[in-house]
Amino acid sequence: MAQDRPSQMDRDRFVAQFGGVFEHSPWIAERAYDLGISPRHDSALGLHDALCRVFRDATEVERLTVLRAHPDLAGKLAQARRLTAASSHEQASAGLDALTDAERAAFERLNAAYIARHGFPFIIAVRDHDKAGIRDAFARRVDQDSATEQAEACRQVERIAFWRLQDMLP
């Protein structure tokens, strides 16, 4: 239906629909809408381009806010079932909702070390990995310098956004 196409939505509906694509950051959808959404943005790939343009043009502080809005992997929010629906689904798809006690303890140690070193949670597009691959990437990335890791986290945020848009649009 035409009204379901991003280019046909009014601002409020567009932000309501796509404001959560970047975790707890509706301002990205607001700015993308204000820059202009055309029929070329009616696909996941097209809208991803528009939203990522806003994310990349944001200030470093704004990008860090997006990074910090992400939950810890297999962390306390997941255990308390307080993740967004998208994050919950993504973590479950990689088996992070069914960790052994030892695996959970390892993720908790890595989460604490990563946040202490970089100042934001470890972010990875879990749909691209299995549980072992996520753990290996986590262990490898925790020791990277923070500038390199921030750039990688931003790439991962964009990848997560793409997966979310794939679920919403053709």
Region 2-11: mean pLDDT is: 87
Q: Which contiguous run of DSSP H or E holds residue 102?
A: helix 101-118
Q: Do residues 49 and 6 lie in contact, with contact meaning Cβ atoms separated by under 8 Å?
A: no
Are residues 79 and 145 located together in one domain of the fold? yes
pLDDT for the residue 80: 40
Q: Do residues 105 and 113 lie in contact, with contact meaning Cβ atoms separated by under 8 Å?
A: no
Are residues 84 and 115 located together in one domain of the fold? yes
Are residues 59 and 136 located together in one domain of the fold? no
Residue 118 designated active-site: no
User: Which pLDDT tens digit goes with each residue over 79-118?
Assistant: 545 556 776 676 666 677 777 889 888 888 999 999 999 9
User: Residue 77 — pLDDT band, cuts 50, 70, 90?
Assistant: very low
pLDDT for the residue 143: 95
Residues 6+ positions from 161 with CB-CB distance below 8 Å: 21, 22, 48, 51, 52, 55
Are residues 48 and 75 located together in one domain of the fold? no
Q: Do residues 37 and 14 lie in contact, with contact meaning Cβ atoms separated by under 8 Å?
A: yes
Catalytic member of 70, 89, 118, 129: 70
Are residues 76 and 153 located together in one domain of the fold? yes
pLDDT for the residue 107: 85
Other C-beta atoms lying within 10 Å of the C-beta of residue 44: 18
Q: Do residues 123 and 70 lie in contact, with contact meaning Cβ atoms separated by under 8 Å?
A: yes
User: Which pLDDT tens digit goes with each residue over 132-142?
Assistant: 899 999 999 99
In a domain, 167, yes or no: no
Parent domain of 37: 2-64
In a domain, 169, yes or no: no
String of DSSP letters for 37-79:
--GGGSSHHHHHHHHHHHHHHS-HHHHHHHHHHSPPTT-HHHH
Please give the tally of structural domains in the chain. Answer: 2
**CA 75 to chain CA centroid, nearest Å:** 15
Region 54-83: mean pLDDT is: 79
User: Residue 157 — pLDDT band, cuts 50, 70, 90?
Assistant: very high
Residue type for position 67: L
Q: Do residues 116 and 67 lie in contact, with contact meaning Cβ atoms separated by under 8 Å?
A: no
Region 32-43: mean pLDDT is: 98
What's the half-sphere exposure (Cβ side, CA atoms, 13 Å) at 18?
35
Average per-residue pLDDT for the chain? 89
Q: Poorest-confidence range of 10-19, 51-60, 108-117?
A: 108-117
In a domain, 120, yes or no: yes
Which CATH number is 122's domain given? 1.10.3330.10
Are residues 50 and 102 located together in one domain of the fold? no
Are residues 60 and 77 located together in one domain of the fold? no
